[in-house]
Structure 1
Amino acid sequence: MDEMTRLRELRADAPVPDRAGLAPGRERLTDAIAGNGGRRTLALRLRPMLRDWRVTSLGAVVAVTAAALVITQVVGTSTPAPSAPATVVGDLDLSSPAAALNRAAGHLERQEVPPEPRADQWIYIREVDGWQEQQWEELPEKVRKKTPMTYSPDRWVPYDDKAAENDASDTDYRTARESYRIAAALPEDPEALLARLREVFPTGSGPDGAPEAKDEHSFRALAVLLESYPIPPDALARIYRAMATVGGVKVTDHLIRDASGREVIAVTRKYDESDSRREILIDPVDYSYAGNRDVVTRTHTIPWDSGAPETVQKRGEVLIDIARTHAAVVDAKGQKP
């Protein structure tokens, strides 16, 4: 099922839009970015943004408007200047993925594993996404007036969501409880762990294109799981050790600044069929998941089928920049820690 069809079938009682609600506006741009990778590449890249499948009808409203705005708002964003250009930053060793991620894993393995959240608790997430916020702010006033929804960086999801667990329409979506238990049960062996995640978050084939290659599939599966909260620290340690073994994975040799202005570690891998890379961001202090970015790796021109002027994407431009600034288990929807 394509993303726009899914949007038309969304429930009327869906919650306040998170980045999934505004993600369809990126479709036109990312379709062009995908290039010869085809619609399958696009679908795979959008899936992490659609983790909360209960998107509001706002997504359908902004899709056309956001497509028109995206050229001027996303293209043209520059890469933040490196804050510490060195392979060793304080206690961090950023000389290789293995050095950085194994150090993170060692730290996490020493942490106490907290109890699993109760079935009646909620997961609170706050994320900075300047692109999404700007898209909402620049929607025409008449469009805003037609929807009761507003943009918010805060979202709450129930830890135990049986209705969502029984919905199989999105093979990448897992509830917080499902993700926690998947992570907790992952094997120690990196190869076995990656094989398990490729089963949990499958690739596909058919009219939308060929399946992902093994390493790209592994990195996407890791990225999808890492967006979940909470993940037990010992499980996160195993995930990081496995990530270091994925072909094509690199670590930026200096801390970068995320969308919120924090300095973070960037673990990267170039998309196989595109001129951009995915970056998984990690907090350099407690090694928690800190967000993700998509960054252009080669200056290139994007043609538009509609006859609009071609768009030039320059190497280093940031297409997606999402920073997770808070994540916590709370007792009620609307509660903040």
Structure 2
Amino acid sequence: MDEMTRLRELRADAPVPDRAGLAPGRERLTDAIAGDDGRRTLALRLRPMLRDWRIASLGAVVAVTAAALVLTQVVGTSTPEPSAPATVVGDLDLSSPAAALHRAADHLERQEAPPEPRADQWIYLREENPDQEKQWKELSAEVRETMQWSYNPDSWIPYDDKAAENDTSDTDYRTARESYRIAAELPEEPEALLAELRKVFPTGNGSDGPRETKDAHSFRALNVLLQSYPLPPAALARIYRAMATVEGIGVTGHLIRDATGRQVIAVTRAYDRNTRQEILIDPVDYSYAGEHEVVSRTHEVLGPDDSDGPDRTVQRRGDILREVARTRAAVVDRKGQKP
């Protein structure tokens, strides 16, 4: 009998623990980006690493340190590890996107909604991004002093930020309070919900790259909002039900490993012919748990001059181009406070 089977039998009659009980064991070294007292930290996290008009400002940092960036193939991220169960157990159903996301919605609709945070409270986030951590550690002290961001595993974002709400320069950025209220007011019907989110997070005009399709736009808008914290449970349930209707959506038929080694649900959608986006969901409480950008097809990447020189690299199926794992999220009373 393997260890996972023993573990499942041991806790077969035990109640499912809540996130607060699981969080201490999950806390790992993570990285975040600091700036504008935390306002733009969330803005950078909320956008997937797209390679067209939506490229976040972090791309400039990555470009500076591109020589140090190594794409690492993570074995077992999209296939079960030998010690992991070959099929999911318990009340999970990963047989289809609709089954997984509707099961999550059913669970969330049974949860009591906590009160909306007060205007004077803060949102504490702890996340891990291995590439950013690696890049920061490889920078010299002199270079670090010139950077406008720093490596920090923790961040605090003010819940009520009037100055950020009035800044319309970034169409993807919403404060925590704005996101909470946007989610709370979303319609029940999936098509109407997706249409509303596409208005809230508009697409580009095509001048900086290919325009998004309707479904790609919907998936990105959902991803942006899902990364906000907190969201009312009933609103999150509506979001998951709407996500299940997006054309091209998928779900990995087994739990995968995130950047910290946790087992998570991966909701997937192709970004282009070579890569896919993965939204990671906690299988216990169905909260947002992070994201992946994964190579779905082995292909060559040309250097800046499209030559056959040393800049030509191969990205192999399963390579992780970007991974973020959220290990803690909470409402706190002051900046610097940890739950």
The equivalent residue for 1:188 is 188
Q: Does 1:74 align with 2:76?
A: no
2:330 pairs with 1:328: yes
Is this contact kept in 1: 2:46–2:173, CA < 8 A?
no
Partner of 2:321: 319
**Any idea what SS the aligned residue of 1:284 has?**
coil
Indicate the percent of aligned positions where both proteins have the same amino acid: 62
What SS is found at the alignment partner of 1:208?
A: coil
CA distance in 1 between counterparts of 2:238 and 2:210 reads: 29
Kindly provide the amino acid, as one letter, of the partner of residue 309 in structure 1. D
C-alpha change, 1:20 and 1:242, in structure 2 (3 Å) is closer
Q: Which residue identity is paired with 1:319? A: L
Amino acid at match of 2:287: S
Kindly provide the CA deviation profile for residues 192-211 of structure 1, in whole angstroms up to 9, marking residues without a partner as x. 10000011011122421342
Matches within 5 A, 1:147-226: 150-226=150-226
Does residue 109 of the first structure (1) align with residue 109 of the second (2)?
A: yes
SS in 2 for 1:92: coil
Structure 1 residue 85 corresponds to structure 2 residue 86: yes
- Matched to 1:335, the amino acid is Q
Shift, 1:309, TM fit: 2.3
Classify 1:297/1:212 alpha carbon distance in 2 versus 1 (closer, same or farther; 3 Å). same
Contact 1:22 1:63 in 2 (8 A): no
Contact 1:129 1:322 in 2 (8 A): yes
How far apart are the structure 1 equivalents of 2:186 and 2:46?
Answer: 30
**SS in structure 2 at match of 1:242:** helix
Change beyond 3 A, Cα 1:248–1:336: same
CA distance in 1, matches of 2:302, 2:35: 38
Change (3 A) 1:107 1:21: closer
1:304-315 equivalent positions in 2, closer than 5 A: 304-306=303-305, 308-315=310-317
The answer to whether the 8 A contact 2:273-2:297 is kept is: no
Cα offset, 1:15, TM superposition: 3.8
CA distance in 2 between partners of 1:161 and 1:204 (Å): 26
Deviations 1:138-179 (A, max 9, x none): 112321244596411210000000110011111110000000
Within 5 A, what are the aligned runs for 1:246-257? 246-257=246-257
Q: Which moved more, 1:142-151 or 1:240-249?
A: 142-151
Q: Secondary structure at the match of 2:108?
A: helix
CA contact (8 A) 2:45 2:227 kept: no
Please say if residues 176 and 230 of structure 2, whose CA atoms lie closer than 8 Å, have aligned partners that are also in contact: yes
Residues 191, 165 of structure 1: CA spacing in aligned structure 2 closer, same or farther, 3 A cutoff?
A: same
Closer, same or farther: CA 299–140 of 1 in aligned 2, 3 Å: same
For residue 230 of structure 1, report the CA deviation from its aligned partner. 0.3
Structure 1 residues 167 and 137, CA gap change in structure 2 (3 angstroms): same
State the TM-score, normalizing by the size of structure 2: 0.81
Are the equivalent residues in 1 in contact too, given 2:43–2:173 (CA < 8 A)?
Answer: no
Higher mean displacement: 282-291 or 198-207: 198-207
CA deviations over 1:100-144 (Å, ceiling 9, x no partner): 110100000000011110100000000011111111001123212
Structure 2 CA distance for partners of 1:186 and 1:74, relative to 1, 3 Å: same
Gaps of 5+ in 1: 1-11, 32-41
- Choose between structure 1 and 2: higher helix proportion: 1
- Structure 2 residue matching 1:301: 3-state secondary structure: strand
Once the two structures are superposed, the pairs formed by residues 6-17 of structure 1 within 5 Å of their partners are: 14-15=36-37
Q: Does 1:295 align with 2:305?
A: no
| SS at 1:89 equivalent | coil
* Preserved CA contact (<8 Å) 1:18 1:153: no
Deviation above 6 Å: which 4+ runs of structure 1? 19-24
SS in 1 for 2:174: coil
Give the length in aligned residue pairs: 298
Change (3 A) 1:331 1:103: same
Q: Which residue of 2 aligns with 1:43?
A: 53
CA contact (8 A) 1:124 1:327 kept: yes
Report the Cα distance in structure 2 between the residues aligned to 1:222 and 1:228, rounded to whole angstroms. Answer: 10
Aligned to 2:327, the other structure's residue is in SS state strand
Q: Counterparts in 2 of 1:95-134, with a 5 A limit?
A: 95-134=95-134
Partners of 1:150 and 1:330 lie apart in 2 by: 22
In structure 2, distance between residues paired with 1:206 and 1:190: 26
